[in-house]
Structures are given as structure tokens and as C-alpha cells.
Amino acid sequence: MRVLFWGTPSFATPALRALTGEGFDVVGVVTQPDRPVGRSRTTLESPLVKRIALEEGITVLQPERPRGDEFVASLRSLAPDISVVVAYGHILTTAVIELPRLGTINIHASLLPKLRGPAPIQAAIREGHAETGVTIMRMVRALDAGPCILQVRTPIPEDETYGELQLRLAEMGALALIEALALIEIGQAVEQPQDERAATYAPKVDCAMTRIDWTADAHNISRIVRVYDPRPGAVTRRGESDVKLFGARLAPRAVESLPGEVLAIGDDGMVVACGSGAVRIAAVQPAGKRRLTPAAWARGRGIGLGDRLS
């Protein structure tokens, strides 16, 4: 089976490694262009999937937008049997989706039809889902609406961060992809239409979503911190400056206090009062500074007992 692979961020890397490791004939990798990095913005950095592809001697295509007659002709010249899309970041045209003889399949990081859209991992944590998973589905023009070929489920522990869950789902998705391709290759894949009545949407993360409201309960605030850990970081304010928070856990609240009030600072983190309950924060990143422990922040007089975050 000749596979055309589409992907850019780290979520796609395990899937590409699995395909090459299992001996699939990956005829091409489509990824986003190299991007400038560093303060001077003069150094270009290649997507990791590009570097893997070049190591394996695989053709790499990097269009700004995956459309146009010339681009489609370049795909056709690769003669793929199937396309595999993993968090590529662009909407594909019908002509591109239908170009391979077996069509195009996608790894989506949720249990479809729940949490369609660009940020399903963050939404699963933010909304307090007890479980999530990955879905291998056939791509159609409508967003994440194609029939499901295979699903794998996993619980979400109460202390798991976005970064940790993303890593687990990426590995699960890679294994599920290999199984789905094997079923397709032998003609045993069963495609189940999605129930549109059960569909929900996971919107793209924006700055407003990362802001902490300390009047909320501790469970909610803990989830907000975990959703944006390690990036972009949940945001609160200390005085006139923003501070990012990481590593939230539920903590006891033994005294009457105001939402956002700092109740304790120690080697195990900083306890902050919420609308009900409290959370323990393991790390902070004041604006313009590196990430550090709350104890180190306190020693530098950035925070103290009884101070309030807002």
C-alpha cells in the first residue's frame, strides 16, 4: 500500500515513525513550509516530520496552501493508494481528498462525534471528560464528519496535563492507524457513520480561554491550568503583570480566605484559594522571566503569603 502522509506538529511524528517502522511504502510527506525562528528570524526551522522523511529518503512537499493544479499534479505523480492526515493544519479540497484510489483517512484526537474541531485534547480536559481517545475516520469535505473506521478509548486522570495527554494520544493514534490500514488493505474495515445529533465542537484556543477566574471552584481552575500546560500556560495577574501557572493539583483549604489569596508557599508549591476549595501550583512564569518554583518567586519578593492573584 502506497501511503501519502500529511502532518506538521509533534502529534504527527509517532504516526510517521510507525508507518516507516512497519514497512509501509510512504511515497511522500506533505507538511508546512520551514518557518523562521530565533530573535533575528533569519534561521529557518524544518518541521520534524520533514526531517524524518528526509532521513528515510521520502519525497517532501511544503506548499503554503495545499491546492492548485500544479500541486495536485505533484500529488498525482506520487500515485498514492491512500492519504493519511494527522493534524496537518489546512482544510483539504475534495479533489485532494479523493485523489488516492482508497481516499483519505485522518487521525482525530477525540471520540467522534464528540469534540470535532481544532483543539479536542484541550476541550476534553477543560470540560471535565472522564475519558477520551482517538478516532481513525474517513475524511470528507465537512469538518471531522466522515465515517469512523476505528476508535480507541482511554481514561483521563485527574492530574493529567494537556502535554501528557497529547503524548499518550499521539502514540495511541499511531498504533490505531497501523491497525486501520491493515483492515483497509484486506477489505475488512467497517465504516460507521457518525451520529450528527451527538456532535460537539472543540474551538481553537484563544487568549481569553487561558485567563483564570479565581471565583470558580477548585476543580474548574485545576482543569484550566492543566489544559494549557505546557503551552501556552494559564494566565493570572499579580499586581499589574501577567503570570503563567503550571502543575495544578487540588489542595485543602483550612481557613476562610478570598478567591485568589495565597495561603501557603513551600517546596511543594503554592496554595491559592478558589471560589470553593483551593489549588496547589507547582510552577510559575512571571512576564518576561523563565519558569520557576513559587518558593523561588517568593524569595525574589514576587509573591508572599496573603497576596492575591486576580
Q: What is the DSSP string of 47-89?
A: -HHHHHHHHTT--EE--SSS-SHHHHHHHHHH--SEEEEES--
User: Residue 16 phi/psi, 5° resolution?
Assistant: -65, -40
- Residues 6 or more apart whose CB falls under 8 angstroms from that of 80 comprise 2, 3, 4, 27, 28, 99, 100
Is it the case that residue 38 has pLDDT exceeding 80? no
Q: What are the grid coordinates assigned to 145, written together?
A: 464528519
Q: What does the pLDDT average to over 103-115?
A: 98
Give the confidence band of 290 by pLDDT, cuts at 50, 70, 90: very high
Residues in Cβ contact with 104 at an 8 Å cutoff, skipping those fewer than 6 apart:
82, 83, 84, 85, 92, 96, 97, 98, 138, 139
Q: For strand 2-7 and strand 82-86, is the pairing parallel, antiparallel, or unpaired? A: parallel
The separation between CA 176 and the C-alpha centre of its own chain, rounded to angstroms, equals 17
pTM: 0.94
> Taking a C-beta distance cutoff of 8 angstroms, is the pair 137, 222 a contact?
no
Q: For the chain, which domains are there?
A: 2-198 (3.40.50.170), 207-299 (3.10.25.10)
Q: Over the stretch 111-156, which tens digit does the pLDDT of each residue have?
A: 999 999 999 999 999 999 999 999 999 999 999 999 999 999 999 9
Q: Taking a C-beta distance cutoff of 8 angstroms, is the pair 244, 235 a contact?
A: yes
Helix residue spans in 187-232 (DSSP H) = 218-227
Angle between helices 13-21 and 48-55 (to 10 degrees): 20
Model confidence pLDDT, tens digit, residues 83-103: 999 999 899 999 999 999 999
User: Is 121 in contact with 166 (CB distance < 8 Å)?
Assistant: yes
